[in-house]
Amino acid sequence: MTSMTIRAGLALMLAPLLLASCVRAPDNTLPKLNVDPARVKVAGLSSGAYMATQSHMAWPDVFSGAALVAGGPWGCAKGELATALGTCMKGVPAPDVKALASRARADASVGKLGPLRDLADDRIYVLHGKDDDRVAASVSKAAAQFYEALRAEDSALASMTVIWDGDRNFGHNLPVAVSGEDCRASVEPYLGRCGFDAAGEIFDKLYGPAPASAKSPSGELLRFDQHRLRPDGRDAFLADTGYAYVPKACRSGAECGVLVVFHGCKQNAESVGETFVREAGFNRWADVYHVAVLYPQTRASYAPLNPQACWDWWGYSGADYDTRAGVQQQWLIRALAALGVARAQADIQQP
């Protein structure tokens, strides 16, 4: 057999692998969209809910609303894993909401968080299942009470709306309408077949009543290189690939909102594939509301200790994890700027 024949054979053998690699490779960058700055919101489940409230508090000039599913108040863990596992999951002892609100005001006064006045007119939706055996209802309730405490201490925040939804029967998962696992269970991929469309409810509470009924998604689910957005090259402890769902109207230049959705622990793509980013229900409502959905992805690690690929809500990425200077918050603001959120671009130089 000649060397040319061998090379040809190897090329034929490797061609499918090379092709598959090209298909899987993420786009280098996020698409620049025509973003309505008043319609940029954030949502998350479990550790993603903690990340959502951290993002909302860090960048209230960017986000005008937050939806928290099975997550507690901003600053709950105070940088301590033991507190995270006790107070911030089991509610023993209970989160000190007034103390957390006081710390938030102090951090905002020195620029560690965004100006709290920008929380005015925001809508906060806190959803918790009565069958949740991972996060106590009192912890989620404390998330709502945290925002209420901020509002009570500042008349400028009187127009902020806080909605508590804790009377539905579902476990530690994100309820979906028809597919998913046992509604009352807490098993991967943490999408519960509950006959209740949590994604639709989140859109309704954050963006208002739906202008039309939702059908199958017709936009694009894009993959992008998350490492290109590292702040000053620092590791944000994210996966190689992130996802973004872009409705056709947004891709064509129409003015659109942006919803950032943070997955929960063990719900990242490395753990559940594309199940969450495809089947959680947000994409079909994104078409109806003309809202692009950003799905950042974490990665599991043992140094720092984060084997379940949680978002940082106790300090594994550094002591400033729940402030503007946190590396994951700095990554996020760069991702939003890449999508076309003008206020995020202005904030990049203001950690």
Q: Mind giving me the DSSP string for 145-211? A: HHHHHHHHT-GGGTT-EEEEEEEE---SSEEESSSSEETT---TT-EEE-S--HHHHHHHHHH-S-S
Q: What is the CA radius of gyration of the chain?
A: 20
Catalytic residue among 128, 172, 263, 290: 172
Q: How far is CA 42 from the centre of its chain?
A: 6
Q: Cβ distance 298 to 237 under 8 Å?
A: yes
Q: Cβ distance 294 to 307 under 8 Å?
A: no
Q: Mind giving me the DSSP string for 252-293? A: TT--EEEEEEE--TT-SHHHHTTHHHHHSSHHHHHHHHTEEE
Catalytic residue among 107, 118, 122, 132: 132
**CA dist 25 → 104, 274, 276 (Å):** 40, 14, 19
d(CA 33, CA 28): 16
d(CA 39, CA 25): 30
Q: Cβ distance 244 to 295 under 8 Å?
A: yes
Tokens 């960048």 appear where?
59
SS3 3: helix
Catalytic residue among 46, 47, 55, 186: 46
**CA dist 173 → 72, 190, 276 (Å):** 15, 4, 11
Told to judge if 128 belongs to the known catalytic residues of this protein, a careful annotator would answer no
Told to judge if 140 belongs to the known catalytic residues of this protein, a careful annotator would answer no
d(CA 341, CA 30): 12
Told to judge if 218 belongs to the known catalytic residues of this protein, a careful annotator would answer no
Pairing status of strand 305-306 against strand 301-302 = antiparallel
**CA dist 31 → 28, 211, 222, 253 (Å):** 10, 25, 9, 11
Which residues carry out catalysis? Answer: 46, 132, 172
